[in-house]
Amino acid sequence: MRFYDVVLWLHITAVVVAFGALFAYPVFLAVNARAPIAQRATFHRGQIAFSRRVTGPMLGVVLLAGAYLATDAGVWSEAWVTVPLVILFVVAGLGVTALRRGEERLVERSEAGDEAGYAAALATLRTYTFITLALVVIAIFFMTAKPG
C-alpha cells in the first residue's frame, strides 16, 4: 500500500461524509415540512450545525487530499481535475451563502409561525439543494470517468 492510496481513501471518505447527508436533504425537508411549524426550526438548526461542524471541515479535507493526489500524479492540467476543483469552490460558496441563508430563513419562518414565508424559503432552498447535488454528481462523474 502506498501513501497515495491512503490519501485517495481519505479524499473519497471526506466526499462521502461531506455530501452524503445532502443527498437525503430533499426527503428530510419534505418530511420536516409536514411537522407543526413551531417544531421545524429544530431540524433546520441541525442542518446548520452539521454544515458548520462536518461539511465545512470535510471540504477542507477534500481540497487538501485532492491537491496532494493531483500533485503526486502530475495531473493538474487534466479537465477531470480542474472541473471538480472549480465545482468544489462553487459548492463551498453555495454552502456558506444560499444554502446557509436558506436554512436560517427556515428557522426564522418556523419560529415566527409564518407558513407562507416558510413555504417560499423552502422552495428556494430546495432549488439550491438540487443545484448543489447536481454539481456534486458532475464532479464525481469527472473524477471517476476522467473525460478528456
- For 90-124, how does the pLDDT look when each residue is reduced to its tens digit (9 = 90+)? 999 999 999 999 999 999 999 999 999 999 999 99
CB 88 within 8 A of CB 147: no
State the total domains in the chain. Answer: 1
pLDDT at 139: 98
pLDDT of residue 148: 79
In angstroms, the CA 60 to CA 68 distance is 12
Nearest to 15 by CA among 92, 114, 127: 92
pLDDT digits (tens, 9 = 90+) for 72-89: 999 999 999 999 999 999
User: Is 145 exposed, middle or buried (CB count within 10 Å of its CB: 0-12, 13-18, 19+)?
Assistant: exposed
Give the domain range for residue 13.
Answer: 3-145
| 11-16 average pLDDT score | 98
| Nearest partner of 11 among 78, 55, 56, 68, judged by Cα | 68
Each residue of 48-72: pLDDT tens digit? 999 999 999 999 999 999 999 999 9
